[in-house]
Amino acid sequence: MELPKLNFQETFDFKFKKDKDKFFIYDLVRKTYLLLTPEEWVRQHWIHYYLTVKSYSTSALITEKKIVLNGLTKRIDLLVTEKTEPVILIECKAPQIKLTEKTFEQTARYNSIIGAKEIVLTNGLQHINASYEDEQYVFYKPK
C-alpha cells in the first residue's frame, strides 16, 4: 500500500491492519480501526499532531461530529476543543483534492454552526489556516 508523504515535520507512529484486500488505520480518538481512505490518512496525521506535538488529550478531540446546515446533515472531520469550547475546526480533504475558495467556503459554512476561533483546511500537503476575527476570516501562516 503506497501512502503519500504528507506535509508534517513530525513522523507519527500509526497502527495498521489488513483484512482481505482492505487496509485499516487505528484511530486513537475513537479507539477502533477505520478504513484507510486518503482523507482518513490526512485526518489521522492531524489527530496524531494534536495528541503528540500539541499535547491535547483524546477527550479534547472530536471526530465526525454531525451538524445540520441548511436542513442537511453534515459531518465535520476534526474539532479541537478546550474545556468543551470549540477552538480549531479542521476540514480534511484527500491529498489529490485541490484546495480552493469553494472548499474554504464549505469549511467556513461548517464553522458558522460550530463557532471555532480558527479553521484549518488541509489536504495533508497544503494547509490553509484562518482565524475568525471581527466577523471575518484572517489567513495566517502558523509559527
Q: Is the pLDDT of residue 143 over 80?
A: no
Q: Which of 99, 89, 36 is nearest to 63 (CA)?
A: 89
Number of Cβ atoms within 10 Å of the Cβ of 38: 16
Q: Looking at residue 2, what is its pLDDT?
A: 79
Q: Supply 64's cell numbers.
A: 465526525
Q: Which helix (H) or strand (E) holds 43?
A: helix 38-48
State the average pLDDT over residues 80-91. 97
How does strand 72-75 pair with strand 32-35? unpaired
pLDDT tens sequence across 42-66: 999 999 999 999 999 999 999 999 9
State the average pLDDT over residues 109-114. 96
Supply the mean pLDDT for the chain.
95
State the average pLDDT over residues 121-135. 95
State the average pLDDT over residues 84-112. 96
State the average pLDDT over residues 126-131. 96
pTM: 0.95
Predicted confidence band of residue 69 (pLDDT cuts 50, 70, 90)? very high
State the average pLDDT over residues 60-73. 95
